[in-house]
Structure 1
Amino acid sequence: MDFTRRQIDILLTGDVQLDVDDNFNSIIIQTLQFRFFNQSVQHFVEYLCAAGDDCDWLYAKQKVPPLLNIDYSPLYKAIEPLLYESTSSTNVAKCYQNDTLIDCLGGMCSYLPFDISSIPSISRSCSRYNQFELGIIIERRQIDPGPSIHDLDVFGFQCNKDQCNGPKNEDDLRRVVQSNNDWILQIENDSSSLQMTNNYVILFFVFIINHKHFE
């Protein structure tokens, strides 16, 4: 959904290869991305279902209209001060390198989640400064029926405030993200009435909203 061009693109396909158990009704993967330099928001939604014919299209018809009314400003305004300094001459003095505070003059701080043998882990480091990469990506994955070991709720970011990739800022961001779920679409299937099929169906739609001013 491109508000600049007033265009909605929906891709429907099947026979998707998944790295999860076959016994599922539906999967929804949502990714919200804020870029601070150009004040942009991108919302990606991927929906996969094995719940009968046209399950993807039925979901799209139900969920696309509410997405038009999502207000991203409260979450953006709460996150931006924790990660971004708009002054062009800003350089972080120190960043965390894993658990150690190191000098990072002229760079920016990085916080990235990753898995090692299914064990969640965090990478903190000093990165080369790139104003276009300053931002945060929040990802949530829900599987129905759940809960599932494949469910996911995680974020990663690049920031240009001193020590902004440290544990305290991580905790503050987690509280902000968890307290603002207005952008999250829920799975609303009646599992008792679903008929499983052999093929998967995927709905993938991308929402790109460019905000020049969050005022």
Structure 2
Amino acid sequence: MTRQTSVPAVPMDAKIAQLDSLCARARIMPVITIAHEDHILPLADALAAGGLQVLEITLRSPHGLTAIRRLRELRPELCVGAGTVLDQASWEAAEAAGAQFIVTPGSTAALLESALHSPIPLLPGVSSASDIMLGYALGYRRFKLFPAEVSGGVAALKALGGPFGGVRFCPTGGISPDNLVRYMDQPNVMCVGGTWMFDSQWIKAGDWARIEQASREALQLLAP
């Protein structure tokens, strides 16, 4: 059901501050698609033990909403958001599950406008200057650059920094240990999203210690 109120539930400045805070805490945001329900807690625990405590749980699998609900209930110290939110129905399902932030792979006028009236901050996906302007007109200043490498990577971020001086990004898609530092060195990057810390084979094997170590090593790349 589309919200009808014309008054934003939370001022945009406050939502921007929320996104800045969670991205500063995250630095690297795991983008997680849960293949099996019994992976939810051990995977989150391994990532958190390695220092990654802000998690984007995608809605690409039927276990996504279950994971958000379970982590919000059993791991309240974590910050848990919903990713791959594509429409109003999935937004409302993620909100009901307890998502603390929402990430979309792209932007539509309907979702951008509707999100203004939710208390949950939105990190909308963009891949071009036109996408940014669609959100910028509504007050958005924080975006997910996706897919980052395909959309121009670091060179694109440098170019976008000119006309969009007050905008900051969470690049996701193609981020790896090889280019992580180059992305994080950009002044308009607040954090990055990635998956390399939890290889699917490690998850299948229940090698949670390896995931913890990979998470720790990822953050060590960003150590001053």
Pairwise same-fold verdict (TM > 0.5)? no
Structure scoring higher RCO (CA < 8 A, sep ≥ 6) equals 1
User: Which structure has the larger Rg over C-alpha atoms?
Assistant: 1
**Greater share of residues in helix:** 2
The two structures have a TM-score, normalised by structure 1, of 0.26
TM-score w.r.t. structure 2 length?
0.25
